[in-house]
Structure 1
Amino acid sequence: MAGSVNQQQAVIYCRVSGAKQVREGDGLASQETRCREYAKYKGYCVLDVFTDDMTGKAASRPGMQSMLGYLHMNASKGSEIVVIIDDISRLARGLTAHLELRQSLAGAGGKLESPSIEFGEDSDSVLVENLLASVAQHQREKNGEQTSNRMKGRMMNGYSVFCAPVGYRYEKTAGHGKLLVRDEPAASIIRKAMEGFASGRFETMAEVKRYLESQPAFPNIDGSIRQQVVTDLFSRVLYAGYIEHEPWGITRRKGHHEALVSLETFERIQARKAERNLAPARTDINADFPLRGAVACADCDAPMTSCWSKSATGKRYPYFWCQTKTCGMYRKSIRAEKIDAAFAEVMHALSPAKGLVGLVKTMLHDAWGQRLAQANTIKETTKRDIAQLDKQLDGLLDRVVESDNPTVLW
């Protein structure tokens, strides 16, 4: 509501340190209430309210920039607009940012006021203001130090303190607080990718990337993931159940969370990453060479790679060959048909031990149970997403129906 012609105009600026405080707290609303009470007491007409949900260390913030633009457009020479803040720390949490914003507000035609402090231009007032801004900066830095020390202590005790990586989520657990737990089905997908690369089933990380992109349940952007995602997955010992963070001097130690792969598998991945990958990435590693990753060189015992070779007549033949340069069988090719036939002979010669059939049935039953659990998880996640979208759609429709603004309908 517009005020009288002679009524002092004002805007309100509120800030909290993060989006979490907006979701779970009432900081912005409380600040606005105090500022409105102050404006009412002073007889000001509040024109607008501007908010930010980010740290006060920096001067450049969306809400602050919007307010400065508003002041530039509406404040006139000789008629300043009062900017009301709840406390000096809401303007900034750093002396440099505070001084910068004070200058920007003055240049835009704003006059700073607060129910908590009286701003003035005399030397004593400026000294007090700068001291309070320095105290706000000290509090921010001290809070940062305390938070960092608590995080370091928790990591030293074997707990992850950073954002949950893909395949995990945080869950409150008795005796542990927030603990990383498996986030299915992504956890099983990552385990298969890491074990496949460690065993040689996936020859290169490019093949792992294609495998992950083929899994609809794995997080992606328009069906694609960046190669850096695979690199990060294979570089985090956290997936092996361990915690470490070199920047804080925290050496590797056993974590309290469940591992997706063994430490041996993780170490094998690191060794394979250090090797030179000679085989090109393939879109399909299963159908053409089903024994790939299981066939080892008879001389060096390293996994053999495989490829198709084209003859002079244009006919293609499948081959296995050793890619270890120091091996005497380096680049010596063996027809895949011979290996497949030898493998079939071995399989025919095998006789299952007593009880093996029952064990295999149990293993297959367990594997099927895991796949079924993954499918059910995907189903439930999809149902929740659909319900959430329906709720948002209903809310938007209600707003359209209840709105008396004709522009909403366009």
Structure 2
Amino acid sequence: MTQKAIIYARVSSRAQASEGHGLSSQEARCRDYAASKGWEVVATFPDTISGGIDFMKRPGMVALLSFLDAQPNENFVVIFDDPKRFARSTRFHIDLRDALRERGAQIACLNFKFDDSPEGEFIETIIAAQGELERKQNGRQVGQKMRARMESGYWIHTAPVGYRYVTVKGRGKMLEPNPPFDGIVREAIEGYAAGRFETQAEVARFLESFPNYPHLKDGKLKQQRVTDMLTHAIYTGHICSERYGIHWLKAQHEPLISLETFDKVQQRRSGSAKAPKRKNIGDHFALRGIAVCDCCEVPLRSSITKGNGGHYAYYLCQTKGCEAYGKSIKRDQLEGDVGEIIKALQPDQSVVRLLTDMFRHIWYARRAQAADIKKDAQSQVRAIDKKIEALVSRILTAQTEAIVPVYEAEIVSLEHDKARLTEKMQKQVEPKGSFEEKLEPALAFLANPWKLWETPGGAQVHLRRLVLKLAFGTRIKYCRNQGARTPEISFPFKALEGFYMIKCQNGAGGGT
């Protein structure tokens, strides 16, 4: 009767299986060996997993043992290429050897002859121990290289959403922003920090609005993914790793957000929870949350009704007991009345020119001030470095272990302060571009806010909200019969109005 054989092949990772030829070459050699012995190969069981773990956690080996259990009356030979493919742990090697013996299976190896004599078992144990030693030494070397890489400012783990790995000559693989997801992540984090998104659930809904966003399952994103994104220091351009004892190390890659934004996010997360934002918040209503009922001073609600073959947008008061309760106002009417107020904000052009000269003077004064701020921050960083050195010395000379975690926590806090100051210094570099490139667009808005208010297109609602936020210091009261009440205008337009009055009093204006 022909001896039946089973082949077991293993590589240490799925990448080796998909990109290399380890499994196929092992199987080919084992088949040649079986043919030379006249054995019939009836099954092959591959594995793509590290050999240091319990063999019962290897899918291929579990399947092999199940195959043997299903045919208890058959005598099989299990063939494998090398003892290292069998197990790279002395204990698991012996346990697996016993498991195969209990099932009546013989073992054949291309690079080693198994012998059931005491001497053979001794040599086999030595071989298994050598494999385990090599595995642990390799693991130590890899760990040391990974630590060194991290300490040099390079992220070594899976690229977070918003980044991707690229190979840079002389620097190896490093993170770089990955469009369009870098912009999506930045908007999500900054939106949460600024209060645009009140809860993490709103952040999740924002991310879910992008069909190609990673990690979506049936169009939904797990809340843990959002938490991980909001708390990942990697987006600030810093590396933190409890495993390697690294805290707020300046990284080599480009940040997506500032450390200031990151801190705001953590402060919001540690604060009291707020009710989720409604999905139908009214993206078609520029004055939603800004216009209030003149009678009860409660923000007007928005509504889109369907009838007569079309859709009609309205604002209305829904405060029970108010005399305006349930009475609707056409959206175009209300927003048109407010637009007339904005049109009236356009200041005298001579005042705008005067204000431009003032801002130009401030612009150059701030550039000089930036140098002083940077110098002060450098002094604070040096002081922090001295404190850290002192704490490290205390740790080395500590009499009790209990005090060490206290010192370590203080060092982490100081490292965070140092990173914040370093970021502050980087922001104080001489601004790129000219005054005209930086401030003239803002002055152009002050000179003619109506132009931005009337911008056509899909972004009109968002631009109108921006104009309202910049132009007015209070909400706008609206009466259904008498129209919009003039709200308190914001400081920039107050300043322009004040300049114009002063100029007229001094006889410098008033003409054409």
Identity, % of aligned positions: 38
Q: Find out whether 1:243 has 2:239 as its counterpart.
A: yes
Q: 1:11 aligns with which of 6, 14, 17?
A: 6
1:63 is the counterpart of 2:71: no
User: What do residues 188-218 of structure 1 show as CA deviations (whole Å, max 9, x unaligned)?
Assistant: 1111111111111111211111111112231
1:193–1:208 Cα contact (<8 Å) kept: yes
The 5-angstrom pairing of residues 2-401 of structure 1 reads: 5=1, 7-56=2-51, 57-60=53-56, 61-74=58-71, 76=73, 80-219=75-214, 220-285=216-281, 287=283, 311-313=319-321, 315=325, 348-349=344-345, 351=347, 356=440
Distance 2:203 2:228 in 1: 12
SS at match of 2:186: helix
CA shift, 1:233, in A, is: 0.3
> Shift in Å at residue 316 of structure 1?
7.7
Cα distance in structure 2, aligned partners of 1:264 and 1:241 = 12
**Alpha carbons of structure 1 residues 73 and 286: separation in structure 2 relative to 1, 3 Å:** same
CA–CA distance in structure 1, aligned partners of residues 122 and 268 of structure 2: 62
Q: Is the 8 A contact 2:6 2:77 kept in 1?
A: yes
CA contact (8 A) 1:14 1:90 kept: yes
Query: Which sits farther off after the overlay, 232-241 or 35-44?
Result: 35-44
More displaced, 260-269 or 226-235? 260-269
| Runs of 5+ unmatched residues, structure 1 | 295-305, 318-340, 365-370, 372-410
Unaligned runs of 5+ in 2: 291-298, 302-316, 328-336, 354-435, 446-451, 453-458, 460-512
Q: Which amino acid aligns with 2:146?
A: M
* Shift, 1:181, TM fit: 1.6
Amino acid at match of 2:270: A
Provide, for residues 122-170 of structure 1, a one-character-per-residue CA deviation record: whole Å limited to 9, x for no partner.
1111111111112111211211111111111101001010011111111
Tell me the distance in 2 between the aligned counterparts of 1:28 and 1:214. Answer: 42
User: Is the 2:76–2:105 Cα contact (8 Å) retained in structure 1?
Assistant: yes
Q: Per the alignment, do residues 198 and 345 of structure 1 end up closer, same or farther by CA in structure 2, a change over 3 Å counting? A: farther
- State the TM-score, normalizing by the size of structure 1: 0.71
CA shift at 1:109, angstroms? 2.6
Q: Offset at 1:108?
A: 2.3
SS at match of 1:247: coil
Query: Judging changes above 3 Å, is the alpha-carbon distance between structure 1 residues 227 and 218 closer, same or farther for their aligned structure 2 residues?
Result: same
State the shift of 1:289 in Å: 8.1
CA shift digits 1:318-343 (9 cap, x unpaired): xxxxxxxxxxxxxxxxxxxxxxx999
1:75–1:110 CA contact under 8 A, matched in 2 = no
Q: Partner of 1:144: helix, strand, or coil?
A: helix
Measure, in 1, the Cα distance between the counterparts of 2:69 and 2:163. 48
Cα deviation 1:107-130 (Å, max 9, x = unaligned): 223111112111122111111111
User: Secondary structure at the residue paired with 2:10?
Assistant: strand
1:292-328 CA-partner distances (Å, limit 9, x unpaired): 999xxxxxxxxxxx997953359489xxxxxxxxxxx
Asked whether the 8 Å contact 1:202–1:285 carries over to 2, the reply is: no
Conserved in 2, the CA contact under 8 Å of 1:201 and 1:293?
no
Q: Which secondary structure does the structure 2 equivalent of 1:349 belong to?
A: coil
Alpha carbons 1:75, 1:81 under 8 Å: kept = no
